[in-house]
Amino acid sequence: MTVKAIQSDVITDIQKGEIPVHVAVIMDGNGRWAQERGMPRVFGHQQGAESVREIVETAAKLGVKILTLFAFSDENWGRPKMEVKALMKLLDTYVLQERAKLKKENVRFQAIGALDQLPEKTLAAVLRTQQELSHCTGLTLNIALSYGGRNEILTACKKLAKKAQAGIISPQDITPQIFEEHLWTSGLPDPDLLIRTSGEQRISNFLLWQIAYTELWFTPVYWPEFRKEHFYEGIKAFQSRKRRYGLLAET
Ligand code: IPE
Ligand code: IPE
Ligand code: MG
């Protein structure tokens, strides 16, 4: 059997089970991966871009509808200037280089986060890609940039408070649905599966509202070496879970 045939067998096997509609990933461990190889942290970020390419392709092949990738957090602004600059440059390069390929693969691209914090050039590249791929109907690639869950919730509260102040909405009419419409993820269903690489088992301010009932899966693999086999492993773990949402299991 060829490698390709084995791969397609694995995919067919996974597709017999439930494919999570929305997968979110905390892509962690770039710096440690590089440092353990005697390389600068930025080298890890560059290699991480390769993993992004492979996982976007794999998620689309499996039939995942939304892939949300945590690329840069609110807190990451506090890292050394050199690293932040290198990350923003990598981001520019990624969105510019991948645009045509994503379009060909029918991938819709969108960014969430405090985007106004991004350098002008990065923001322009992100918005242009978002606009150019807005008509695509395949996988939605949702990149979290300058993103913080607390900031997202607070921003939603401020929008609602302003509407209440202007008499557009009454506080007692604010339902979870209305609240969600004011989040950056408005229109997207909550993640079914959250993957974090690098062995850390924490959320680090990611999608705090949205992961209330998300299945969590942690792997020790550093992001730059995360490949499709690891992604399959995460999906299989998801397929072995019983989601109850606080109710009783079906008998
Ligand atoms: C994840 O890798 C990428 C970003 C947070 C931007 P890290 O840079 O956090 O790498 P580690 O966790 O320090 O190894
Ligand atoms: C989370 O990783 C943010 C991203 C992957 C973009 P961090 O490396 O910033 O998180 P902590 O510091 O380990 O919690
Ligand atoms: Mg980290």
What pLDDT was estimated at residue 249?
85
Report pLDDT digits (tens) over 52-71.
999 999 999 999 999 999 99
Write out residues with Cβ below 6 Å of ligand 1. Answer: 27-32, 72, 76, 87, 198
Write out residues with Cβ below 6 Å of ligand 2. Answer: 26-28, 70-73, 75-76, 200, 202, 204
> Mind listing the domains of the chain with CATH numbers?
19-149+189-239 (3.40.1180.10)
Residue 92 is given by DSSP the state H
Q: Name the percent of the chain lying above pLDDT 70.
A: 100
**Encoded tokens for 172:** 């007692």
How far from chain centre, in Å, is Cα 113? 11
| Residue indicated by tokens 């490949």 | 227
Dihedral sign, CA of 230, 236, 239, 242?
A: negative
What pLDDT was estimated at residue 251?
61
Which are the catalytic amino acids?
Answer: 28, 76
Three-state secondary structure call for residue 52: helix
Beta strands in 40-116 (DSSP E): 66-73, 108-112
Q: Are strands 108-112 and 22-26 parallel, antiparallel or unpaired?
A: unpaired
